[in-house]
Amino acid sequence: MRFIAAHWDETVRHATEDRDRVIGLPRPYTVPCRRDHFQELYYWDTFYTNEGLIAQGRIELARDNVDNLLHLARRFGFVPNGNRTYYLGRSQPPHLALMVERVFAATGDRAWLARALPVLETEQVFWRERRTPDAGGLARYGHHAGDADLMEVWQGPDPRGVREPDPGDRDGRLRLAGHHHAECESGWDFSPRFGRRAMDHEPVDLNALLWASQRVIARCHARLHDDASARLWAERAEQRGQRMRERLWCGETGAFCDYDAVRGRRSPVVSAAMVYPVWLGLATPDEAASILALLPRLERAHGVLACEPGPRDFPCQWDAPNAWPPLQYATVQALRAAGREADARRVAGAFLDTVARNLARSGDLWEKYNAETGGLDAANEYGLPAMMGWTAGVCAALGALYD
């Protein structure tokens, strides 16, 4: 943890105006990497970074990060993937409400909360449009990129294993490129969860996060003594939870599963996304027990896999054998929420040991690790970047619990 505390400031970038393709931000902010890769403020990464900042007492920096995300949502009506103009066609998994509640818990600043709350409601409007079109449809990942941006997907090699349509099939190219952009919005770019058809699926983690966000908004209204609005948002969360049980719960698997709304079936891929309803409090005790009974299919000696191994038509980095830091955090918190503290300690300890061992060998933290070998031989799509960001944040947060 000393390494993390000593190097946070190397990830801080200062407030800037719009320039070139950079979207200006009003407050200092953290980027995932100290150098080279990923020099932007990213959306869902920042939640896990902030968990570590708060654990190590860097409350003001965590608040600055959230203020910047709120600024982006006010300006654009949603939180972009990152503060670059080429990220304006998509968002990322919606963690903003969770971040606001974490900062409020650390500061108790009701005036700040009152300014943030309308922005959280604005984000809900954005995600209300991201849903499958059939009756009762839940949220999906999507995009709002223009045709020119979509066609750029086909400028290089086939994107992430997608078989290129006939060059004359413009509609087919646009459709597949749209799924590609939607999978980027999922943050799991790329995984076998959606079979390269991300816009056709109602994901477990996305809808659990939206359910949790609606619950946060209800609690925030209650803290600000607006009981009518609190009831309204609690009812919306209750309705989403009911629809999730109707559409996403798979009795055969014993877990919430991504639902293919086009083909009318649930995804057969067991992934760590299943722990989000447990972590966030949606799952009943019986549902949580059933879901966590599947954990041995993902847990390895050095971390929790993104997806259960299986035959694949294409290689993915959000798949076995990779252990991604946010999924370790979500799994540990799910186990804690279910009262399985010994299991949570085991999972956290395995990942913390993996990170510490590789830090001693390499002198740095990394974006992801191999859960099977415990090394840096992860499956990659762009090389393996040295990374503070969510790796440092997750380690600091778990270390505060179990070190």
Question: Which among 185, 200, 258, 367 is annotated as catalytic?
Answer: 367
Tokens of 342: 């010994």
51 is catalytic: no
Is 350:301 a contact under the CB 8 Å cutoff? yes
* Nearest alpha carbon to residue 207 among 178, 234, 241: 241
Location of structure tokens 């990220």: 87
- Which SS3 state, helix, strand or coil, does residue 131 take? strand
* Nearest alpha carbon to residue 366 among 403, 322, 401, 316: 322
* Nearest alpha carbon to residue 325 among 306, 299, 309: 306
CB proximity list for 171: less than 8 A, separation 6 or greater: none
C-alpha to C-alpha distance for 338 and 344, rounded to whole angstroms: 10
Q: Helix axis angle, 96-107 relative to 43-55, nearest 10°?
A: 20
Question: Which among 64, 101, 189, 287 is annotated as catalytic?
Answer: 189
227 is catalytic: no
Residues annotated as catalytic (active site), given as ranges: 189, 367
